[in-house]
Structure 1
């Protein structure tokens, strides 16, 4: 931009460094920069103008993009208008003001949009409160005594957070909401009075259960005692809840009686488990010995006899801990399966019908090879080299098949 058309063209500098700017209102003094060249003094105030111009451009962009809207945009334009009107700067200040004035239609549109937005917000608030009233009236007619009171509390907090709408509508909706809340509260109190009576009955039933459990806990028949306590526990659950503070104390008494019985039973079982653990060790040692001597099974009859001897000794040993049963049984099954597999393999090797089938297969391939050999010899004598080659290829294939069949036959014992 040349000096004649740039911001500097709107100012001048006197000899003492005083700088003036020209606007549509005339010329006014903007400041003084002594002891510097006129161009430098002028440039100082031009930079101020450029800063203002940048702010105007930024405001135009933000208002145009919607980043600034409504009252905020109006305040920004008013502030810039005042700032430019009083600015100690050199440049086309009138042009900047004109650019701000050109934003008036945009600002008017945004204000209209703001009014529409407020109307829409008003409608949304009304709809939200109507929804709350509908839900409150539904809760008031229902029987959700636990979650309902919490929901009413949440609805009340949400109602308080919403803005007011027109007074008549707002008062009417609030009256309906408040009435529903009052109805719910009264019905809930009546329900709790009925529930308290039921809790008193439950208290009596649980006290009877405790009395029975005290006698049951003395039994030495732990199976009968455990079954009896299961029945008492089912009755306890079916009795319902006693009053809050009482219910916890009754449960503590009942649980202590159970703990005493099952503790005594567990002490006896611990003694048994010690014996069971010794049995486990003995069975594991016997299994180690059997696995080492029987596996792999190379002689089916010897393996079967050794397995029978092992099984007799294994079954003579007593019970083992519950968590060891599966592992031990798996090892015994593997021994049993190995012996069974050896028996099956021995039968397969001595089965006369299977041996004959294997022999028949070898004989069939031999006969086919002899036939193909004759065909090849005939083709060679007649000079048919192609037929001779095809016969040779077939002979090679059948020879390979016969070798495999012969291996299967060789596996059979005499």
Structure 2
């Protein structure tokens, strides 16, 4: 055998029928390739010495030698080899048409077939197969262009998405004060960043530098914020410790009103002091509330005792009032005055009563005091040696102003006359009151 020969046992039917069906379904733009094994004598021959020839546009070409059997068997053998090559090409067409094939791999395979056709040891329609290979090459080139366009589009979209992520990160870094949410979002951005592929290296590095810078800026700003917060909380802790110490000192105070007011002020100052570190803040608050509760519990107990004492005092004063009701100044004024004086002393010695009873009880005592005082005043008026003298003095002043008024009228001085008459009228009223006082004795 020559170098182009193969034994019949080395080859077999490769399922060319299925490929034929696929080829028939291919686009009408693809040139058809006849199945060589159907009529191998159309595409080649075997001469008397066993040399196998294939027909080409340039004439016959020797493809091998057949010495193992009948010439027809040799011709069929080389035709099946052609059909195998044809099947390989048709598979490339099918894969490219379905989109399942790699255009680059198809282009390489088609070029390999194209290069091998000039010396291929096959019998078949080489011209049609060459045209079919050209069709595959064209489709592969189209696929490569489409793949390149898709890759460029994907690269552009990937770059645009990373740019969006960078810009969002920069806004968070410069503006956000939602520290936890912003930090979580930056981590999510980083996770998404890692999944984005296809950006050219230079652009990717530039965007990455911006993103890293934004993250660093955010971390610095967040760190500065929490450092300031720690300082503020330290100051708040010191201030609250001072407030707690003062609150604990006030617990033993029995100056109820001012101390209660001071506790209210301490509460206002506590709120104004701000937040201390949580653990310390909670502990200090417990101490503050314990001191406050202790003071007010002590005050409440004292007030309960005081209220009980005041209620007892009120009963004692009611008993005094009942006793005072028997004072009769109309019979013996001096005895009545002495009785009232002793009741007043006992009244003051009893002490305070509940606030809601003060007006009632004081009012009853005051009415008794006024009754005795009225009797004293009446006696004084009756025994006043100056009462008659005042009546005479008032009458004399009335007469003086009446005379002045008459004199002014005679002189034609109307204004002075009116003034004198007004004064005379006032003194007449006083005179009448004095005369009535004397008459009632």
- Which of the five TM-score ranges fits, normalised by the shorter chain? 0.3 to 0.5
For the pair shown, the structure with the greater C-alpha radius of gyration is 2
**TM-score where L is the length of structure 2:** 0.40
**TM-score where L is the length of structure 1:** 0.43
